[in-house]
């Protein structure tokens, strides 16, 4: 066989790649625990003297990605809400960097650091770094000269317990198109004609899954979970986020929202809603159920939430989208708390500011459905793993607005 024909044969899977398959792994259950609320002494909270409980629920959407030459395998969070690609640098001395497997640019022959400084501020931390270019290996697919942010320093305001539990060392955005400063992963992937379809399919592991495994497919989706003839496509209303409109959101017989913005957020473990609405919801639940306030942590943020006895009789959350019902039963949204036997955290919490109007759908919602996002036609779908049946329709008689409580 001629040498050049041999090379074509060897690299044929790379040249003909039409989809990238990345296994996803969920963090171990011991990460989901409750403990006394402790802060760094340098940071002060509104109620530092109170022994408030913290419940830790890490995102489930991380997978191993190869970076550099030779390859360094880095645990990465795939996030549909964020707008950057970043990796922790091995020289980062912040506590959160030391407990992960960070990126070492000096060990890569293909790494190039641009001396452009980067700073990003979140509610609980500030991140500092530099723009960097290197080669990425995703599944069996090689993407060279991909730009990302090389995080060298973090000013952290989170809880001490969470600092010892974060286990991934980077983030890749799945927004399409993402409004970023050069680190637009999805747009670059498709603009180079490396992937045929501008779509991805997402199977997130449920909190109830035994093995905690899932999969991300970029460029296609898994037909064993989706019957194309039954897909109910939902229009995406934003150029920056995977954002849709829900006709109604109901808890039991109480209306939470109508014509509400919903954003798919795979970097979030729970569901986060507007402060006033969620606060009124728990006031209503608290009238008949004993609930306790807790802080729920999910990656970069802390959220005010509540816990109740797992055995309590609670109602379903019903999302009406495109005249189709997506129902979360208590077994879907109650998250068992290790170390506090018999208690469960609600998988829904309040946004950490009072001006947020949209709902963010994290793993508690997404893990129940196989999610397909189509960037070409600006649409997405949530698909049952089993046939949906016995749906309950809304009626004007049982729709009571919690906004009026």
Catalytically active residues, by annotation: 79, 265
Contact residues for 97 (Cβ-Cβ < 8 A; gap 6+): 88, 89, 151, 154, 169
Residue in the block written with tokens 């030391």: 98
Calpha distance 128→140 (Å, rounded): 31
Q: Give Cβ neighbours of residue 221 (< 8 Å, ≥ 6 apart).
A: 199, 200, 201, 370, 372
The CB density around residue 12, as the number of other CB atoms within 10 Å, is 10
d(CA 176, CA 21): 18
| 3 state DSSP class of 191 | helix
CB-CB contact of 135 with 69 (8 Å)? yes
CA atoms within 13 Å, Cβ hemisphere of 93? 0
Q: Specify burial of residue 304 (Cβ count, 10 A radius: 0-12, 13-18, 19+).
A: middle
C-alpha span between 388 and 403 (Å, rounded): 30
- Write b or e for each residue in 241-280: b if 16 or more Cβ atoms lie within 10 A of its Cβ, otherwise e: bbbbebebbbbeebbbbeebbbbbbbbbbbbbbbbbbbbb
Task: Give the residues across from 360 on adjacent strands.
Answer: 263, 272
Quote the CA–CA distance of 402 and 250 in Å, as a whole number. 9
Say how many C-beta atoms besides its own lie within 10 A of residue 228's C-beta. Answer: 10
User: Which DSSP letter does residue 354 get?
Assistant: S
Which are the contacts of 234, defined by CB distance < 8 A and separation ≥ 6? 244, 321, 322, 379, 380, 381, 382
């Amino acid at each position: 066989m001629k040498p050049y024909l041999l090379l074509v044969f060897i690299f044929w899977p790379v040249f003909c790649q039409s989809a990238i398959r990345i296994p996803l792994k969920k963090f171990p259950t011991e990460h989901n625990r409750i403990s006394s609320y402790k802060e760094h002494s340098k940071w002060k909270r509104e109620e530092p003297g109170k022994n408030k409980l913290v419940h830790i629920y890490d995102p489930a959407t991380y997978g191993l990605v190869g970076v550099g030459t030779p390859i360094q395998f880095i645990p990465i969070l795939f996030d549909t809400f964020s707008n950057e690609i970043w990796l922790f640098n091995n020289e980062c001395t912040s506590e959160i960097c030391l407990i992960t497997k960070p990126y070492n640019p000096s060990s890569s022959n293909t790494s190039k650091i641009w001396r452009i400084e980067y700073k990003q501020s979140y509610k609980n931390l500030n991140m500092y770094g530099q723009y960097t270019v290197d080669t990425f290996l995703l599944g069996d697919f090689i993407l060279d000269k991909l730009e990302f942010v090389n995080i060298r320093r973090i000013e952290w305001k989170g809880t001490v317990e969470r600092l010892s539990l974060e286990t991934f060392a980077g983030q890749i955005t799945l927004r399409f198109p993402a409004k970023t400063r050069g680190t637009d992963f999805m747009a670059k992937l498709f603009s180079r004609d490396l992937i045929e379809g501008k779509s991805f399919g997402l199977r997130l592991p449920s909190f109830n899954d035994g093995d905690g495994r899932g999969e991300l497919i970029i460029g296609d989706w898994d037909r064993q979970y989706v019957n194309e003839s039954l897909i109910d496509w939902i229009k995406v209303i934003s150029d920056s986020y995977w954002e849709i409109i829900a006709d109604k959101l109901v808890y039991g017989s109480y209306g939470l929202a109508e014509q509400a913005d919903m954003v798919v957020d795979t970097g979030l473990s729970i569901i986060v809603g507007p402060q006033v609405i969620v606060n009124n919801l728990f006031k209503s639940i608290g009238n008949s159920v004993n609930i306790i306030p807790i802080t729920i942590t999910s990656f970069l943020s802390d959220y005010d939430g509540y816990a109740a006895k797992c055995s309590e009789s609670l109602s379903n959350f019903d999302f009406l989208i495109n005249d189709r019902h997506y129902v979360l039963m208590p077994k879907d949204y109650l998250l068992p708390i290790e170390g506090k036997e018999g208690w469960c955290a609600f998988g829904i919490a309040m946004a950490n500011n009072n001006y947020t109007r949209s709902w963010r759908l994290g793993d508690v919602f997404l893990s129940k459905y196989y999610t397909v996002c189509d960037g070409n036609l600006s649409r997405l779908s949530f698909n049952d793993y089993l046939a949906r049946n016995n749906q309950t329709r809304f009626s004007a008689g049982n729709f009571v607005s919690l906004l009026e409580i």
